Structure 1
Amino acid sequence: MSIGVLKEIEPRERRVAATPASVGRLVKMGLAVIVESGAGASAGFEDAAYAEAGAQIVPKAADVIREADVITKVRPPGAHPETGEHEADQLRAGQKLISFLWPAQNKELVERLAKRKATVLAMDAVPRITRAQKLDALSATANVNGYRAVIEAASHYGRLLGGQVTAAGRIKPAQVFIIGAGVAGLAAIGAARALGAMVKAFDTRPVVREQVTSMGAEFVPFEFQGETGEGQGGYAKEVSDAYLAAEQQLIAEHCRTSDIVITTALIPGKKAPELITSGAVVGMHRGSVIVDLAAEQGGNCALTERDRTVERYGVTIVGHTDLTSRMALQASELYAMTIVNLIDEIMGKKKTWELSLDDEIQRGMLVLLDGELKWPPPRPEIRGGAPAPAPKPPAHAPKPEVPESPWPGRIGTALALAFLTPVGLFGSQELVQHLTVFLLACVVGWHLVWNVTPALHTPLMSVTNAISGIIVIGGMLLAANGGGGGAPVAALLGAVAVLLASINVAGGFLVTQRMLRMFRK
């Protein structure tokens, strides 16, 4: 089986569907790879690198389509800008195509591919489930897109994003407002925060609040009569007109105090919602920047012009749709690996191309199967779990709890008083002082050890080792001096103290060393 890699014909597109590294992976899977000459040149990958990885280099796209079983692309098939020939019309019956497609917006293209009896898998239709994360080309692309949006905004802003205090005066940090906290929005938050900006983020889905705050940004809450903008699969959904109007008013208030606004709000299969009205743009101060990442789907700003940077009312509005392509090398590496993972998912252990309509991932991405329309996929069946078993009655009735007897404590208190009272009345002042210190140390040590969380017991052991070291020195001095006054009992107690403290020191170090070895690779 052979995989074909076409050169993108869109003038602004520099990405490629395969890299030398991904070609190497495909070759190891037993697949032949055919690459159109110059396909990766704009992304920084030469034909020689593909050939070294095991690919066959052919001069024209027609050669790739004629020889390959599976065609891989980045952008949806389109008409060649020079010849006018449409890529979809060149496909053979039964040939497979893997690329971004956007079937909801490109119904005419889907019909054109259906006439060619092609099998089409859309990289923009990967289900949002845990098992499909390695195939999620949208998230991989959005991550790069969000990062690049901050770089573009900084280049048009004309000031530093981070605050500074210099001899010439104080520089205030830029106020950045992110609309939409998906993958692109979170990437933009991380990039803006890394450059020192103060960041706020807004999203109609309340569940993303924790993700926003964990990245150091302020989450802008919004509630409207119990309605939310969260749809199926974690994506945003269309909302009512009243909801949208209230949302636009809130966004306008925050745009007025922001230096940079980055919009990322998209609705699958729909036109991007208009969140920034022309009135909101008028209210922003001169020199502000709006980067509209939804420009390809109509734009989140009313004044966005696709693939252009314009200035309206003193505000720079960036509507370019090729921000990801401006980081073509990194973006190509990520996209190429998602295609490798998809092919590996389909072929499985049998190493043959067998699409499974029962597989949630493959069924969700499948748009056409030999020309038959399979999109949109059926909603996954939600199966109820098995009913919880009824609790079994206990085999034996629980024994009643017997209250603890107070007498052991009372007896211990009485014995302590019987010992301490004569010592306090008839003992020497020095003995009373030492005994008081000893008893207080016992009480403090008891509460310290039992009130410290178990995770801190090992560091606490290091402190007790230091204390035990002092005891060893004191005990040695006492034993060497014969108790200070020739008392054999004091010398004996000093020797016992040295023995017990030495055991504590040695055991503590052994336990600590054992713990440290657990963290060594």
Structure 2
Amino acid sequence: MATGPRSAEGQMLVGVPTETDPGERRVALVPSVATELIERGHEVVVQSGAGERVDHSDDAYEAVGCEMVPDRETVFARADIITQVNGLAASDEPDPTAYREGQTVVGLLGPYEIEEASLSTLADRNVSAFSLELMPRISRAQSMDALSSMASLGGYKACLMAAEQLPKMFPMEMTAAGTIQPAEVFVIGAGVAGLKAIATAERLGASVRAYDIRLEVKREVESLGADFVELDLETEESGDDEGYAREMDEEFYRAQREAMREVVPDSDVLITTAAIPGAPAPELVTAEMVADMDAGSVVVDMSADSGGNCEPTRAGETIEHEGVTVFGPTDLPSRVAHTASEQYANNIANFLDAILDDDELHFDFEDEIVDSTLLTHDGTIRNPHRDDETEPDTDEEGSNPDPDEESDSTATDGGATDGQ
């Protein structure tokens, strides 16, 4: 077990810089969570303006005991631990040289995309980099699982986007002017994002169906009031020991697309969530299937950032394909930035609790949380996940019996990578 650096005052100093991605509205720590860290004996230094996009003013941070500094460089120069939403490969302008010797960074670091040169720079600077995307799916880690937190919000927002765009009401209603039929919503992927989308569509009164290659999630889908679509496919060993879906071969995806032809065209709304960390998202829905949907129908492809599940999807764009609106959002959690920041800040605080002991950083490599998430440490690059493509996770991803509550089966969205 190794021990990390301490601030000059004998306490850990946690730094919160602004995010460099111009489209990112979230902040790594909100005042209410910063208060908790300060009460635990830590210090918090925040770059001026870091919380403005989620309506947390500099005064709000100062009121709870944070120190405000005018520039990003000061945060990096002083902090023992840097907390970020997006860092390294996940940042708009990744700069590994910003981290000083012996510093620790915690955030969504893009472990599958980060360049080897960036990892080498971090290792040369003895930076300890924790990537929250690699959080193991164990009960003790649920409160730290940022991808699941963000995926749940993404699924919620995806459903609302579809409901707003669709020229039909979601709920069924009996009116004097006649009966309004419910919108038909089809969700592909019954993981965290998918289950939240299902639950949200059900609450809005839609008629909801869902599909996942793992038949074991059927009960979870049906518990939310949706119908589980079973395709005539061989799905044995489609899930790994942790409940994630595995990447299947092209022959399986071809058969899956053929089976989807019977389901997709009957939907008013299609929400797709299948993603494979470190690899392109599987293409499950062809342009022809989308074209066969009724004019005015809506597709929200939550895997747009990694190529998309739908052939017409364009990352970061909204297009019309044969009368169907196709959304390719890459920033869903950031669109509900206030709540997303609160959730993410709690994930960060819980993670810091796990790695801090008596105001010191402890790198216990027998702890699965530390061992799984630590990319670089003590001059060494230690990221076996980058080369492990035998059992990738997907968001036809892990499952969650109640998307409003964490469970042992909570998983990531690639998007979700989360995070989406």
Same fold (TM over 0.5): yes
Q: Which amino acid aligns with 2:324?
A: V
CA distance in 1, matches of 2:13, 2:338: 24
| 3-state SS, counterpart of residue 156 of structure 2 | helix
Aligned 8 A contact 1:173 1:198 in 2: yes
Q: Does 1:276 align with 2:292?
A: no
Deviation at 1:232, TM superposition (A): 4.5
Q: Does 1:188 align with 2:197?
A: yes
Is residue 2:269 matched to residue 1:224? no
The structure with the largest strand share of the pair is: 2
Q: 3-state DSSP class of the match of 1:120?
A: strand
What is the aligned partner in structure 1 of residue 305 from structure 2?
296
**Cα distance, 1:223 vs structure 2:** 4.8
Q: Is it true that 1:6 corresponds to 2:17 in the alignment?
A: yes
- Per the normalisation by structure 1, the TM-score is 0.69
Aligned to 2:412: none
- Which is further off, 103-112 or 49-58? 103-112
Percentage of pairs with the same residue: 41
Q: How far has the Cα of 1:14 moved from its partner?
A: 0.2
Q: Is the 8 A contact 1:102 1:269 kept in 2?
A: no
Q: Secondary structure at the match of 1:200?
A: strand
Partner of 1:114: 123
SS in 2 for 1:364: helix
Question: 1:24, 1:54 within 8 Å by CA — same for their partners in 2?
Answer: yes
Shift of 1:201: 0.5
In the alignment, what sits opposite 1:320? 329
Provide the residue aligned with 1:143 in structure 2: 152
Residue 112 of structure 1 deviates from its aligned partner by 4.4
Given the alignment, which residue of 89, 101, 105 partners 1:93? Answer: 101
Is residue 2:358 matched to residue 1:355?
no
How far apart, CA to CA, are the structure 2 residues paired with 1:55 and 1:223? Answer: 57
The SS at the match of 2:209 is strand
**Contact residue 255 and residue 280 of structure 1 kept, 8 A:** yes
1:98 deviates by 0.7
Q: Which amino acid counterpart does residue 49 of structure 1 have in structure 2?
A: A
Report the CA distance shift for 1:284/1:371 in structure 2 as closer, same or farther (over 3 A). Answer: farther
How far apart are residue 226 of structure 1 and its match?
5.3
Question: CA shift at 1:80, angstroms?
Answer: 8.6
Flag the 1:78–1:373 CA change in 2: closer, same or farther, 3 A.
Answer: closer
Contact 2:89 2:115 in 1 (8 A): no
Counterparts of 1:245-256 in structure 2, within 5 Å, are 245-256=254-265
Distance in 2, Cα, partners of 1:236 & 1:373? 28
Q: Report runs of 4+ in structure 1 exceeding 4 Å deviation.
A: 78-81
Alignment RMSD (CA, Å): 1.9
Unpaired segments ≥5 residues, structure 1: 380-521
2:208 and 2:72 map into 1 onto residues whose CA distance is 46
**Secondary structure class of the residue paired with 2:263:** helix
Match of 1:201 among 198, 210, 224: 210
Question: Is residue 90–residue 110 contact of structure 2 (8 Å, CA) maintained in 1?
Answer: no
Specify the SS of the correspondent of 2:19: coil
Question: Take 2:46 and 2:241, find their aligned partners in 1: how far apart are those partners?
Answer: 38
- Displacement of 1:222 in angstroms is 3.2
Q: How high is the TM-score relative to the length of structure 2?
A: 0.85
Select the structure with the greater relative contact order (CA < 8 A; seq sep ≥ 6). Answer: 2
Does the 8 A contact of 1:276 with 1:302 survive in 2? yes
CA distance in 2, matches of 1:204, 1:320: 23
Alignment of 1:362-381 (within 5 A): 362-376=370-384
Matched to 2:194, the amino acid is: G
Which one has the largest radius of gyration? 1
**Counterpart-to-counterpart distance in 2, 1:232 and 1:60:** 46
Provide the rounded CA distance (Å) in 2 between the counterparts of 1:375 and 1:235.
Answer: 20
Contact 2:316 2:330 in 1 (8 A): yes
Name 2:268's counterpart in structure 1: 259
Deviations 1:110-129 (A, max 9, x none): 34433443210011110001
- Please show how residues 421-460 of structure 1 align to structure 2 within 5 Å: none
Q: Deviations over 1:362-381 (max 9, x none)?
A: 111111113411112699xx
User: Which amino acid in 2 is paired with 1:369?
Assistant: H
Matches within 5 A, 1:371-520: 371-376=379-384
Aligned to 2:403: none
SS in 2 for 1:124: helix
Counting matched residue pairs gives 375
Q: Deviation string for 1:143-198 (max 9, x for gaps)? A: 11100001111111122111112222221100000000001111101110000000
Cα 1:105–1:253 shift into 2, 3 Å: farther
Residue in 2 that maps onto 1:340: 349
Residue aligning to 1:164: 173
CA distance in 2, matches of 1:169, 1:80: 52
Inter-partner Cα distance in structure 2 for 1:39 and 1:241: 44
1:325-355 CA distances to partner (integer Å, 9 max, x unpaired)?
110010000000010001111113x331111
SS in 2 for 1:303: coil
AA in 2 matched with 1:256 = P
Alpha-carbon spacing, 1:280–1:80, altered in 2? closer, same or farther (3 Å):
closer
Structure with the higher fraction of residues in helix conformation: 1
What residue number does 1:55 align with? 66
Change (3 A) 1:25 1:2: same
Does the 8 A contact of 1:78 with 1:87 survive in 2?
no
Superposition deviation, residue 78 in structure 1: 6.2
**Deviation of 1:251 (Å):** 2.1
1:53 is matched by which residue type in structure 2? V
Query: Match of 1:357, SS?
Result: coil
Which deviations, in whole Å up to 9, do the C-alpha atoms of 1:242-292 show, x marking residues without a partner? 211111122232111000000111223322111111121122121111001
2:91 & 2:243 partners in 1: Cα distance? 36
Deviations 1:22-73 (A, max 9, x none): 1011101111101011101101211111111111000111010001011111
Q: 1:167 to 1:111 in 2, by over 3 A?
A: farther
Which residue number in structure 2 is paired with residue 102 of structure 1? 110
Please tell me the residue identity of whatever aligns with 2:29: A
SS of corresponding position for 1:165: strand
Q: What secondary structure does 1:153 align onto? A: helix
Q: Distance in 2 between matches of 1:255 and 1:351?
A: 54
